């Protein structure tokens, strides 16, 4: 759309709430035997007799050798990042109060550490530098617990459950700056995550400089977005979206990560997700069709061809990749490679016959095996998404299981290493609450609790195969995540849940304990300037009412189950405000102010809801449901403009453009007024295209239909114009005859309107004048 719509009348975020001096709720503390201010939870924590240690003006930090001194300096930075005081390094270890030691006798093993706290100070020891660093992370959290700068006497012995504790960032769909990535690496380190999987190539962009093939970035790193974001408002000329990382920048990121004991694993997609590469070098493609860098999301048909020259191209690319990334693994994708082009290609079919391959999956497996052999020759291991299982898995390949855990179970049962990363629990671009304040995202809701409760080792996996589960990984695909603010919202605090699953012993994990430790972690996020999600800590409201009688029943809910308090008299919500425990029966008009509390402190700024008779006649798209007939693929989509700054957000079922107002009160209603907008239809759906449902248009540009119960003939229809107004929106009024019976009211748009689609913004039931 050309302009952003007016601000919506939704519960505003009123600013961050600084939480000071929280005392943890010690529920389950006796069972867990652990301090509730640490995330992830350590393997063993034991309180001991003795006085607390407290930081004072003379507190110094030191290491007993060069490695320990390096970690001691990092500890000072970690503590400051967490909001703690700034300490100084001492050259004399025996004069310091916080001491770091490398000690081969520490029994915690690789990446493990021990911490001892007494009135004389804190001692952190480990066998290796990584363990010492993770001990520093824990010490920094201890010193930013209930009482900043003060720690109870205790001993901790800790080591990770899994060796692969990963996070994948998609920089191909939307590009992040070097500083933004470094900030994420800092956050990973604070969560003891150790693997950064960097998704650098896809249909929508090639983000990694390959000097032998300069067009990969000259051509492949830019696209023209659809809609207003792709046009210069003043000149009408195309506006490009560009970005790539030079080899020097990549090495900088790899080194920055290594300092924090994070390995960086690059991904180069084969044979699908290849549009950007083929657009740069058309000879790599299967067809003669001229491609441009794609500006849509979804699954595309474009594959690399199977020629020997293309395999050599991929090897040459991988050779430069190996030179930039010293990690053991290289990810080669392998997912969502729709084989239609290969099936239709005489060249590919001839290659298959010559190689004795029975189908296209075996052709993909042949390519993957060739690349695995090449990587092995260069002391690297191949990892790919679970589709590489199909057609035969290379002997030493590692599988990243994303389509559930079944692929990982199969691979581990066959003796292959596996990283569990299922879309059902580990995809951070999925919405995390039902709140209307969630940013754009993909369908389904992965709550914080759902992410926390994921178990990477399937119960049905044989005991002698369980060591093949290397760990787990959270994935952040960025189609709908245009800026760093939304990126951080999607990641935090869910990444903390992933971190605890990857680190803590299975029998120590407990969501109630985790929930009690979160408020302190939020303070650390604030200190790190992380724009974590406020939605899990806010209060949502649903209402049903009688506008004729002027009454309403209001239900309040906090997604994480924290205590909800409210006021009805216009006053600020405090810890002494009424505690919500059942639906509120209210007279209209009224203002409901609400906030969630933990240990007497608000977890987020209060929300304010204005309830009037008129408000019962209005619903916005985020307050509507999906029509039950037809396919369902609900997305929370962003408007296509402006190019920079805030954009409107819409809930859209792209398989069936129909919205449902359940049990609408139509008493005295004479018209339905709809505010609608139009945005680009931004999706390629490959084999899912037949599932899309569009009611045929009955006029040139289609109609807006108003239906009762979403079936049968429309109660009213209004023809749609060729174009919306200059701001990208229009208002339509449809006359209807009101009824005394609550009615499931459906609003739909007819016709296949691609390359654009209509979206509903707001529905208003209007009374007779």
**Domain termination site, one of 548, 581, 610:** 610
C-alpha count within 13 angstroms, C-beta hemisphere, residue 444:
11
pLDDT at 1: 54
Residues 176 and 108 grouped into a single domain: no
Residues 257 and 406 grouped into a single domain: yes
Q: How do strand 625-626 and strand 658-664 relate by DSSP bridges?
A: antiparallel
Span 682-732, pLDDT tens digits: 998 877 777 777 899 999 999 999 999 888 789 999 999 999 998 889 999
pLDDT at 536: 98
H helix and E strand count, the chain: 16, 43
CATH number at residue 703: 2.60.120.260
Residues 115 and 217 grouped into a single domain: no
Q: At what angle do helices 360-377 and 346-355 cross, to 10 degrees?
A: 70
Alpha-carbon torsion, ordered 5, 10, 13, 14, to 10 deg: 100
Maximum Cα–Cα distance for the chain, whole Å?
Answer: 86
Evaluate whether residue 596 is within a structural domain.
Answer: yes
- Which long-range contacts link 400-409 to residues 24+ away (Cβ below 8 Å)? 400/331, 400/473, 402/335, 402/426, 402/475, 405/458, 408/458, 408/469, 409/458, 409/460, 409/461
Residue 313 has pLDDT above 60, yes or no: yes
Span 498-541, pLDDT tens digits: 999 999 999 999 999 999 999 999 999 999 999 999 999 999 99
pLDDT at 35: 54
Residue 377, number of CB atoms within 10 A of its CB: 9
The torsion angles phi and psi of 624, rounded to 5 degrees, stand at: -105, 160
Query: What is the b/e burial string over 210-246, where b = at least 16 CB atoms within 10 angstroms of the residue's CB?
Result: beebeebbebbbbbebbbbbbbeeeeeeeeebeebbe
Q: Can you tell me the distance from the alpha carbon of 199 to that of 354, in angstroms, rounded to the nearest whole number?
A: 33
Span 165-184, pLDDT tens digits: 999 999 999 999 999 999 99
**Domain termination site, one of 610, 626, 652:** 610
CA angle 60, 55, 139 (to 5 degrees): 80
Token readout for 17 is 């709430």
Alpha-carbon torsion, ordered 733, 739, 741, 746, to 10 deg: -20
Question: Exposed, middle or buried, 725 (CB in 10 Å: 0-12/13-18/19+)?
Answer: middle
Token readout for 153 is 């006497």
Residue 164, number of CB atoms within 10 A of its CB: 27
Residues 261 and 377 grouped into a single domain: yes
Token readout for 38 is 């640490």
Average pLDDT over residues 6-33: 33
Residue 93 has pLDDT above 90, yes or no: no
Is-contact 70 100, C-beta < 8 A?
A: no
Span 614-639, pLDDT tens digits: 999 999 999 998 888 766 778 999 99
User: DSSP class of residue 305?
Assistant: -
Q: Can you tell me the distance from the alpha carbon of 336 to that of 301, in angstroms, rounded to the nearest whole number?
A: 9
Token readout for 670 is 């004479």
Beta bridge partners of 327: none
Residues 650 and 756 grouped into a single domain: yes
Is-contact 249 207, C-beta < 8 A?
A: no
Q: Can you tell me the distance from the alpha carbon of 27 to that of 42, in angstroms, rounded to the nearest whole number?
A: 17
DSSP secondary structure, 682-730, as one string: -EEEGGGGGG---PPPSSTT-EEEEEETT-SS-SEEEEPPSS--TTSEE
Residue 276, number of CB atoms within 10 A of its CB: 28
Q: Can you tell me the distance from the alpha carbon of 483 to that of 64, in angstroms, rounded to the nearest whole number?
A: 43
Span 265-280, pLDDT tens digits: 999 999 999 999 999 9
Evaluate whether residue 30 is within a structural domain.
Answer: no
pLDDT at 26: 37
Q: How far is CA 468 from CA 183, 263, 401, 415, 523, in A?
A: 31, 19, 13, 7, 37
Span 206-226, pLDDT tens digits: 999 999 999 999 999 999 999
Evaluate whether residue 524 is within a structural domain.
Answer: no
Residue 678, number of CB atoms within 10 A of its CB: 23
Catalytic residues: 336
pLDDT band at 412 (very low <50, low <70, confident <90, very high): very high
Alpha-carbon torsion, ordered 312, 318, 320, 324, to 10 deg: 180
Is-contact 261 67, C-beta < 8 A?
A: no
Q: How far is CA 624 from CA 381, 439, 648, 745, 760, in A?
A: 48, 17, 16, 10, 10
Residues 578 and 680 grouped into a single domain: no
User: DSSP class of residue 138?
Assistant: H
Q: Can you tell me the distance from the alpha carbon of 299 to that of 278, in angstroms, rounded to the nearest whole number?
A: 15
Evaluate whether residue 514 is within a structural domain.
Answer: no
Q: Which of 270, 377, 275, 366 minimizes the C-alpha distance to 322?
A: 377
Q: Which of 122, 141, 142, 150 minimizes the C-alpha distance to 63?
A: 122
What are the E-state strand segments in 568-613?
A: 584-587, 590-598, 601-602, 607-611
Residue 435 has pLDDT above 70, yes or no: yes
Give the three-state DSSP class for 639.
coil
CATH number at residue 134: 3.30.379.10
pLDDT at 754: 87
Span 454-495, pLDDT tens digits: 999 999 999 999 999 999 999 999 999 999 999 999 999 999
Q: Can you tell me the distance from the alpha carbon of 61 to that of 53, in angstroms, rounded to the nearest whole number?
A: 14
Chain-wide mean pLDDT for the chain? Answer: 92
| DSSP percent split of the chain into helix, strand, coil, nearest 5 | 25, 30, 45
Residue 40 has pLDDT above 50, yes or no: yes
Tally of domains in the chain: 4
Sign of CA dihedral 693, 699, 700, 703: negative
Q: How many residues does the chain have?
A: 769
pLDDT band at 138 (very low <50, low <70, confident <90, very high): very high
Residues 140 and 282 grouped into a single domain: no
DSSP secondary structure, 18-87, as one string: ---S-----TTHHHHTS-TT-SSPPSEEEE-SSPPEE--TT-EEEESSHHHHHHHHHHHHHHHHTT----
CA angle 662, 446, 438 (to 5 degrees): 65
CATH number at residue 544: 2.60.40
Q: Which of 123, 127, 100 minimizes the C-alpha distance to 113?
A: 127
Evaluate whether residue 520 is within a structural domain.
Answer: no
Q: Which domain holds residue 731?
A: 618-767
User: DSSP class of residue 578?
Assistant: P
Alpha-carbon torsion, ordered 76, 80, 83, 88, to 10 deg: 60
pLDDT at 17: 33
pLDDT at 190: 98
Residues 674 and 631 grouped into a single domain: yes
**Domain termination site, one of 562, 581, 610:** 610
Query: Among 331-340, 341-350, 651-660, which is the least confidently predicted range?
Result: 651-660
Residues 277 and 242 grouped into a single domain: yes
Residue 8 has pLDDT above 50, yes or no: no
Evaluate whether residue 538 is within a structural domain.
Answer: yes
Q: Can you tell me the distance from the alpha carbon of 421 to that of 454, in angstroms, rounded to the nearest whole number?
A: 10
Average pLDDT over residues 655-666: 92
Residue 234 has pLDDT above 90, yes or no: no
User: DSSP class of residue 509?
Assistant: -
Evaluate whether residue 444 is within a structural domain.
Answer: yes
- CA 369 to chain centroid: 31
pLDDT at 630: 64
Residue 10 has pLDDT above 80, yes or no: no
Residues 496 and 535 grouped into a single domain: no
Residue 117, number of CB atoms within 10 A of its CB: 24
Residues 262 and 404 grouped into a single domain: yes
Q: How far is CA 467 from CA 141, 146, 303, 461, 605, in A?
A: 30, 38, 35, 10, 45
pLDDT at 7: 38
Average pLDDT over residues 231-243: 92
pLDDT at 299: 92
Query: Among 21-30, 456-465, 572-581, which is the least confidently predicted range?
Result: 21-30
CATH number at residue 295: 3.20.20.80
pLDDT at 5: 41
Evaluate whether residue 464 is within a structural domain.
Answer: yes
Average pLDDT over residues 347-368: 97
The torsion angles phi and psi of 695, rounded to 5 degrees, stand at: -70, 130
Residues 244 and 327 grouped into a single domain: yes
pLDDT band at 590 (very low <50, low <70, confident <90, very high): very high
């Amino acid at each position: 759309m050309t302009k952003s719509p007016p601000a919506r009348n939704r519960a505003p975020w009123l600013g961050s709430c600084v939480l000071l001096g929280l005392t943890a709720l010690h529920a389950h503390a006796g069972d867990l035997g652990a301090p509730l201010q640490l995330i992830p939870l350590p393997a063993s924590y034991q309180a001991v007799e003795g006085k607390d240690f407290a930081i004072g003006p003379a507190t110094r930090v030191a290491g007993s050798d060069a490695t320990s001194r390096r970690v001691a300096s990092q500890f000072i930075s970690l503590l400051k990042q967490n909001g703690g005081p700034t300490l100084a390094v001492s050259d004399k270890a025996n004069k310091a109060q916080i001491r770091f030691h490398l000690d081969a006798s520490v029994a915690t093993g690789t990446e493990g550490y021990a911490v001892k706290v007494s009135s004389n100070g804190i001692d952190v020891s480990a066998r290796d530098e990584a363990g010492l660093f993770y001990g520093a992370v824990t010490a920094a959290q201890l010193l930013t617990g209930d009482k900043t700068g003060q720690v109870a006497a205790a001993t901790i012995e800790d080591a990770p459950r899994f060796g692969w504790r990963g996070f994948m960032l998609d920089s191909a769909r939307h590009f992040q700056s070097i500083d933004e990535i470094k900030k994420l690496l800092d956050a990973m380190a604070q969560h003891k995550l150790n693997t950064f999987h960097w998704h650098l190539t896809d249909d929508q962009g090639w983000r990694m400089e390959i000097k032998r093939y300069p067009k990969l970035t000259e051509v492949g790193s830019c696209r023209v977005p659809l809609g207003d974001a792709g046009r210069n408002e003043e000149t009408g000329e195309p506006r490009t979206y560009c970005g790539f990382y030079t080899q020097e920048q990549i090495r900088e990121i790899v080194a920055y990560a290594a300092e924090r004991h994070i390995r960086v694993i690059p991904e180069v997609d084969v044979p699908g997700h290849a549009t950007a590469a083929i657009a740069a070098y058309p000879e790599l493609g299967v067809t003669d069709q001229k491609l441009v860098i794609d500006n849509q999301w979804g699954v595309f048909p474009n594959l690399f061809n199977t020629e020997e020259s293309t395999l050599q191209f991929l090897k040459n690319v991988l050779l430069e990749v190996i030179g930039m990334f010293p990690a053991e693994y290289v990810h080669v994708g392998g997912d969502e490679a729709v084989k239609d082009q290969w099936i239709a290609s005489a060249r590919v079919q001839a290659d298959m016959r010559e190689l004795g391959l029975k189908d296209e999956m075996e052709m993909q497996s042949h390519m993957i095996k060739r690349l695995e052999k090449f990587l092995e020759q260069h002391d690297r291991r191949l990892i790919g998404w679970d589709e590489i299982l199909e057609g035969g898995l290379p002997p030493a390949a590692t599988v990243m299981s994303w389509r559930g855990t079944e692929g990982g179970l199969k691979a581990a049962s066959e003796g292959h290493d596996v990283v569990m990363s299922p879309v059902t629990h580990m995809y951070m671009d999925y919405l995390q609450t039902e709140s209307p304040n969630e940013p754009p995202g993909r369908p389904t809701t992965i709550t914080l609790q759902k992410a926390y409760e994921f178990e990477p080792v399937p119960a049905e996996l044989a005991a002698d195969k369980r060591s093949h589960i290397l760990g787990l990984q959270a994935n952040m695909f960025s189609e709908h995540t245009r800026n760093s603010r939304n990126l951080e919202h999607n990641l935090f605090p869910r990444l903390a849940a992933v971190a605890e699953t990857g680190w803590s012993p299975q029998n120590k994990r407990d969501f109630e304990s985790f929930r009690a430790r979160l408020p302190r972690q939020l303070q650390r996020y604030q200190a790190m300037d992380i724009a974590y999600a406020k939605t899990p800590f806010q209060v949502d409201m649903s209402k049903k009412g009688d506008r004729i009688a002027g009454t309403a029943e209001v239900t309040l809910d906090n997604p994480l189950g924290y205590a909800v308090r409210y006021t009805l008299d216009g006053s600020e919500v405090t810890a002494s405000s009424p505690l919500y425990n059942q639906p509120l029966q209210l007279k209209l008009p009224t203002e409901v102010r609400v906030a969630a509390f933990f240990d007497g402190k608000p977890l987020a700024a209060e929300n304010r809801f204005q309830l009037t008779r008129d408000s019962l006649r209005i619903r916005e798209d985020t307050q509507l449901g999906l029509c039950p007939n037809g396919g369902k693929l609900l997305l929370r989509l962003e408007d296509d403009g402006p190019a920079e700054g805030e954009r409107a957000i819409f809930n859209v079922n792209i398989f069936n453009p129909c919205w449902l107002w359940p049990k609408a009160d139509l008493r005295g209603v004479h018209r339905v007024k709809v505010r609608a907008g139009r945005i680009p239809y931004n999706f390629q759906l490959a084999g899912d295209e037949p599932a899309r449902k569009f009611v045929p248009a009955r006029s040139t540009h289609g109609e807006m239909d108003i239906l009762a119960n979403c079936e049968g003939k429309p109660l009213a229809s209004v023809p749609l114009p060729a174009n919306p107004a200059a701001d990208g929106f229009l208002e339509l009024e449809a006359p209807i005859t009101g009824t005394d019976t609550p009615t499931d009211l459906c609003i739909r748009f007819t016709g296949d309107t691609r390359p654009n689609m209509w979206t509903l913004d707001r529905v208003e039931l209007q009374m007779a004048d």
